[in-house]
């Protein structure tokens, strides 16, 4: 695996069709699964850049895990051809003044408490696509709203990149892997387990035939009583529009455990077997 720091190094390192896995580093088995999904014989580029513009004031930009050596080991083992570690100047050259403007979804769910976050994500993803020129890009379903935003930007701006949403990787106890889990103390981690358990409760009721949104959400809210929530919502899984009982649905949650903000979701398909958060362990 080559570590490329400039666009020239990146271009020199890649021949053939490129698959891109954008990350902010702090790599774990969830990122590795995306890289493995990308590995199909072509060139697999993993970008590793903590994007300052997508963090709000008072968020964890300074604390965010940065360990290039550890990232390189994980990326190489998962099959990356190139680890692209651009400088701030490469991503945002002097004079950079463009932000992608998004539709209404960008100010809902995570966008309601993180104003500007998805516009910043859409902007860097668009720029990474232009720099890396991939044929496909792999994103995690763990960040489902991000996946939907990136899919719509790619479609609306005809960016010509196939977007693949890969399943959420979880620890055996059900907690979705996240670079931010390393902030959690042991006590906070056990508190955080209420999140996958509450999502499992919703999935179990849904599979048993419950379709009423209050009946689905209220028991889960009780399970989450120890976690200050930004939201727990049911939505249409296709575009995150309003929940419709006859469409594939999704339950999404964001909450604060200590100083750590965690998000998770579970997809609910009308005809599917129960999808437990533990199945992806
Ligand atoms: P991040 O480095 O947190 O920005 O994440 C980079 C990519 O990895 C995004 O597409 C995330 O959705 C994905 N990702 C993060 N955690 C997981 C996970 N537990 N399972 C699958 N994908 C993940």
- Tokens, residue 81: 């051809």
pLDDT of amino acid 281? 29
The tokens of 170 are what? 């979880």
- Residue from 161, 273, 251 nearest 201 by CA: 251
Query: Residue range 151-164: average pLDDT?
Result: 97
- Summarised one tens digit per residue, pLDDT across range 180-200 is 999 999 999 999 999 999 999
Residue 278 has pLDDT above 60, yes or no: no
Residue burial 30-45, b: 16+ Cβ < 10 Å; e: rest: bbbbbbbbbeeebbbb
State the average pLDDT over residues 203-228: 97
Instruction: Give, using CA atoms, the residue closest to atom 22 of ligand 1.
Output: 140
Is the separation of the CB atoms in 252 and 233 below 8 Å? yes
Share of the chain above pLDDT 70, in %: 96
Kindly give the distance from the C-alpha atom of residue 208 to the centroid of ligand 1, in angstroms, as a whole number: 30
Closest CA to 238 of 229, 246, 247: 247
Ligand 1 center–CA 138 separation, angstroms: 9
Q: What are phi and psi of 61, to 5 degrees?
A: -55, -45
Is there a catalytic annotation at residue 31?
yes
Question: 43-48 and 82-84 as β-strands: parallel, antiparallel, unpaired?
Answer: parallel
CA of 246 to the centre of ligand 1 (A): 29
Q: How would residue 41 be classed by pLDDT, with cut points 50, 70 and 90?
A: confident
For residues 65-78, average pLDDT: 97
Start-end of H helices in 80-116: 88-91, 110-113
21 CA to centre of ligand 1 in angstroms = 9
What's the rounded mean pLDDT across residues 160-172? 97
Q: Is 134 in the pocket of ligand 1 (CB under 6 A)?
A: no
Top pLDDT among 113 and 275 is at: 113
Pocket test for ligand 1, best of 27, 30, 38, 264 (most atoms within 8 A of CB): 30
How far apart, in whole angstroms, are the C-alpha atoms of residue 135 and residue 115?
Answer: 30
Q: Which two tokens mark 42?
A: 């072509």
pLDDT of residue 21: 98
Tell whether the model's pLDDT for residue 273 goes beyond 80: no
Residue of 28, 31, 117, 256 marked catalytic: 31
- Residues 279, 174: contact at Cβ < 8 Å? no
The rounded distance, in Å, linking the Cα atoms of 108 and 124 is 20
Beta carbon of 120 within 6 Å of any ligand 1 atom: no
Instruction: State the chain's mean pLDDT as an integer.
Output: 95
At 122, the pLDDT band (50, 70, 90 cuts) reads: very high
Query: So what's the pLDDT on residue 280?
Result: 36
Average pLDDT over residues 159-188: 97
Share of the chain above pLDDT 90, in %: 93
């Amino acid at each position: 695996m080559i570590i490329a720091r400039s666009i020239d190094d990146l271009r020199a390192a890649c021949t053939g069709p490129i698959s891109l896995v954008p990350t902010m580093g702090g790599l774990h088995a969830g990122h590795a699964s995306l890289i493995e999904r990308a590995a199909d014989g072509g060139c697999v580029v993993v970008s590793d850049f903590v994007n300052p513009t997508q963090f709000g004031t008072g968020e964890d930009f300074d604390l965010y895990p940065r360990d290039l050596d550890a990232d390189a080991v994980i990326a190489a083992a998962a099959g990356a051809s190139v680890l692209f570690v651009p400088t701030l100047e490469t991503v945002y050259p002097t004079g950079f003044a463009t932000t992608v403007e998004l539709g209404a979804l960008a100010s809902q769910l995570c966008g309601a408490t993180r104003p500007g976050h998805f516009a910043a994500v859409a902007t860097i993803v668009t720029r990474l696509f232009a720099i890396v020129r991939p044929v496909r890009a792999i994103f995690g379903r763990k960040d489902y709203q991000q996946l939907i935003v990136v899919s719509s930007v790619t479609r609306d701006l005809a960016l010509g990149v196939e977007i693949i949403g890969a399943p959420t990787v979880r620890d055996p106890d059900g907690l979705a892997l996240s670079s931010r889990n390393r902030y959690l103390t042991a006590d906070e981690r056990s508190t955080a387990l209420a999140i996958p358990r509450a999502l499992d409760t919703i999935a179990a009721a849904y599979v048993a035939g419950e379709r009423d949104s209050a009946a689905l959400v209220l028991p889960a809210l009780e399970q989450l009583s120890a976690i200050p929530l930004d939201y727990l919502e049911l939505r249409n899984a296709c575009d995150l529009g309003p929940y419709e009982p006859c469409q594939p649905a999704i339950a999404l949650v964001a909450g604060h455990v200590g100083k750590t903000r965690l998000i998770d979701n579970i997809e609910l398909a009308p005809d599917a077997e129960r999808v437990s958060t533990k199945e992806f362990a």
